Amino acid sequence: MDAQSNDSDLTGTRGASARWWPCCAVAVVAALLLPLVLVDVPPVLDYPNHLARIFVLAHPDDPVLSQMYAPHWRIVPNLGIDVIGTGLLKFADVHTGGRMLLALSLLAPVIGVTLYHRAVFGGANLWPLASGLIACNAVFLLGFMNFLLALGLAFAGAAGWIALRRRVALHWATLAGAAMAAVIFLCHIFGVALLALLIASEEAARLYRLRRTGRPVMREAVRIAGALILVLAPALLFYLASPLSDTPALPGRWRGWDKLLAVMSPFMTTNFDLTMLTALGFVSFLLLTWRSIAVAPAFPLSMVTLAIVFVVAPSTIKGGTFVDIRIMLMIVFVAFAGLSPRLPRRSAILAVSFFAVLIVVRTGYLARSWAGHRADLAEIRAAIAGVEPGTKVLMARGHGGNDTDVAVPTRALPGVYRLDGHLGALLTLERKAFWPLMFADPAQQPVEVRPAFKAIAQSPGEPIDLSLLQGDDREAPSYTRNWRSNFAQVLLIDPPSPLPTIEGLSPIHVGAYAVRYQVVPRP
């Protein structure tokens, strides 16, 4: 069934959908935002690091921070959250403003999907609101805020393209598309790729329909190809002007088995059973209703292209990590944007109830586990309470590698990654101390580490394993070499039990989750 079907939508009737849509939209937004109210620093991996960088950008003249870090604004494809956040933190408390930014990245894909769906199918529809089911996913919990913002903007930009193509000449749509592509590039380059794919797929479907009428399509195809080139031209110019263009591609390994886990990433929480329940619920619904689903013109080509890219994509490229997980998230959001179930009234009510219960269950779990995260935050804050501004603090972790077998669920995504590696950013946020793992990659962020501190900084990076502090410095990352001379203190999270004695470290604060040491230089 195509997008032009006159059958009823997910609610059973179009009128019912229009009446219930505002209430359902408010309910979905409220449910998604509830966990953010319960904890001031949510357990989202990169979030504290992003917030620390934005805090530095918002206070460029701070007498302490300016000695360690400096704004370095330039064209890079990760500016969206930084620009918005820098302005926001001029007026808002850092943790309130930070959660507002996190809420923006959480809601942006859902809003974009809803706009795209409305542009394609017309009228209010509850199905795109069901994408709130996957708003909190592996990508969100890993803290890829600019990527999620770009994803939402890509869907919104494609929706604008579709709406403009129905009302104005191609050149006006091209002008608007080019402006949107430039904005999206400044958030994340993957968003530009998705925008291009959605627009190209829409135009390919338009040409296919034109050809079926027996009309010549070559001239129109040339016009559209030229328009697409112009749409992408500003983003290409930005890319060539950015440091990213000089960065080698260096694609990571192709990890076939890991892709099986990546398939689950759009539905992922820190609870494996809840992840499986969500995935099975989504897939089962599509299988049971596939005969009654209307399909957007751009959907088949977009989905096939993304599926192929997902299969062949490496794990990393150009400094971007978790590439396959990001692409898989695009695939599922495209399903919410490009499909529209048309069900009888009784079936529609059951479907709405089913997705509502799933969203409530997921939100309830997140709210409970995030509230429990306050205990870890309290321990870290107690440990760093005595750190003086400007102190150089090395961060370590008690368990080697990226062990995701944790006692507290909010500390890891099962089988994927630890989520507590950047909590040391609180040293910069709340104590104005030097923390060596600040995101300050010149190809990706508009902040730089001052020359006097560059040798003891690493971006991106993870806390050093405690075992490396007990062994030979030559086995440790370069920024930690001679750590006894370069750092004044060490913050250890998730310590082993019993706590080992380490030469050159004198405990100042010992807690179950966070330990702070004073570094005792060798005689």
Whose tokens are 């399909």? That residue is 295
Mean pLDDT of 262-287: 95
How far apart CA 58 and CA 83 sit, in angstroms, is 9
**Of 5, 49, 81, the residue nearest 419 (C-alpha):** 49
Question: What are the beta bridge partners of residue 515?
Answer: 492, 510
Express each pLDDT in 100-122 by its tens digit: 999 999 999 999 999 999 999 98
Amino acid making up residue 66: S
Listed ranges 197-206, 402-411, 469-478; the one with the highest mean pLDDT: 197-206
pLDDT band at 512 (very low <50, low <70, confident <90, very high): very high
**Of 184, 296, 163, 300, the residue nearest 231 (C-alpha):** 184
Among 99-103, 191-195, 310-314, name the one with the lowest average pLDDT.
310-314
How far apart CA 416 and CA 240 sit, in angstroms, is 33
pLDDT band at 477 (very low <50, low <70, confident <90, very high): confident
Express each pLDDT in 445-473 by its tens digit: 999 999 999 999 998 888 998 888 876 66
Quote the pLDDT of residue 461. Answer: 87
β-pairing, 514-519 vs 505-510, is antiparallel
Contact 18, 123 (CB under 8 A): yes
Domain residue ranges in the chain: 14-35+115-365, 385-519
Contact 207, 224 (CB under 8 A): yes
The encoded tokens of residue 381 equal: 């804050």
* Cα maximum dimension of the chain: 88
Quote the pLDDT of residue 486. Answer: 93
- The reply to whether the predicted model has a pTM over 0.85 is yes
Quote the pLDDT of residue 456. Answer: 95
Coil vs helix vs strand at 438: coil
Mean pLDDT of 340-344: 92
Quote the pLDDT of residue 400. Answer: 65
Contact 117, 127 (CB under 8 A): yes
